[in-house]
Amino acid sequence: MSLWFDDLSVGDRFASHSVGIDADSIKTFARHFDPQPFHLDEEAARDTVFGGLVASGWHTAAVAMRLMLDGGFPVSGGMIGTNADLRFLRPVRAGDELHVECEVLEVAPSRSRPDRGTVRLRCNAINQRGETALRLETAVIVLRRGSEETAQV
Amino acid sequence: MSLWFDDLSVGDRFASHSVGIDADSIKTFARHFDPQPFHLDEEAARDTVFGGLVASGWHTAAVAMRLMLDGGFPVSGGMIGTNADLRFLRPVRAGDELHVECEVLEVAPSRSRPDRGTVRLRCNAINQRGETALRLETAVIVLRRGSEETAQV
């Protein structure tokens, strides 16, 4: 299933498969982008408010993006965000499994560009206990059917 | 310079050093988290609306986080975000250099936890031409001076 702007309506819902988050990926991301003790090392993380290793919120957001592309928001021709509002609701720990569920909140054809529109959506990254770890509201540009001949996004 | 909650006032400003964003790091991030043509491959990217390789917005956000830790928002004891509002204003291309400039918008001591407070701040990730590529508004938990004896965050 891969959809164009024309296929989307307010209230449409999609869900991705699940992926596991392991300690190695948490630490690798943290070393590059968020080197704080509670993201880098189990031992150091134990004495923090998290009581153990947790994923950077930016890592969780990046995983959520991947899951959106992999079925959470299955659009054709690319997904280009213009803004995003993130709520970090629960820590993500090594061994957690996340999937995303997205709902279309608003669809607005572009006034100036006939080949595209903006879609506002809410996506939740949900763990294996059914808890939402991250809530993401974002506006993305989505192409209209047929636009692949005039613009490739 | 490394500050506690007590040291921060509305209007305080901080700036990080600059880092370069190269094509390899753009593609590596994209392969893991945002595998779209305009993030993966110069050739494929040429025919997209970006006209060339650009960094994933999530990559730019992660780099901004690193720059905040490295001087853009120099707080002691860790920085834990509760939410973040991102505006993707301009593409980030291979060869760009980014730094962040942050301004404190609001400081609020916690009512229930005497060892911490919440700081709302706006950080801009700015390229070598002085253009803001990403605007980030976020609320983060910051520890009060002396709290390292009772809570390590």
* Domains, in order of start, for chain B: 5-149 (3.10.129.10)
Please say whether the beta carbons of A117 and A109 come within 8 A: yes
Is any Cβ of chain A less than 8 angstroms from the Cβ of B29? yes
Tokens of A115: 């080949």
Phi-psi bin for B142: left (phi > 0), alpha (psi -120 to 50), beta?
A: beta
Question: Smallest CA–CA separation between B31 and chain A, in Å?
Answer: 9
**By the CB < 8 Å criterion, does A97 face chain B?**
no
Q: What is the DSSP string of A21-71?
A: --HHHHHHHHHHH---HHHH-HHHHHTBTTSS-B--HHHHHHHHHHHIIII
Query: Which residue in this structure is represented by tokens 């001087």?
Result: B71
Enumerate the residues of chain B whose CB falls inside 8 A of the CB of residue A81. 57, 86, 88
Check whether A152 has a pLDDT greater than 50. no
Q: Which of B78, B81, B151 lies at the smallest CB-CB distance from A88?
A: B81
Q: In Å, how far is B4's CA from the nearest CA of chain A? A: 16
Tokens, residue B66 = 């690193």
Structure tokens of A96?
């957690």
A108 touches chain B (CB under 8 A): no
Q: Provide ipTM, 2 decimals.
A: 0.94
Residue A148 pLDDT class (50, 70, 90 cuts): low
For B54-103, how does the pLDDT look when each residue is reduced to its tens digit (9 = 90+)? 999 999 999 999 999 999 999 988 899 999 999 999 999 999 999 999 99
The shortest C-alpha distance from B150 to chain A (Å) reads 10
Query: Up-side HSE of residue A17: CA atoms within 13 Å toward CB?
Result: 5
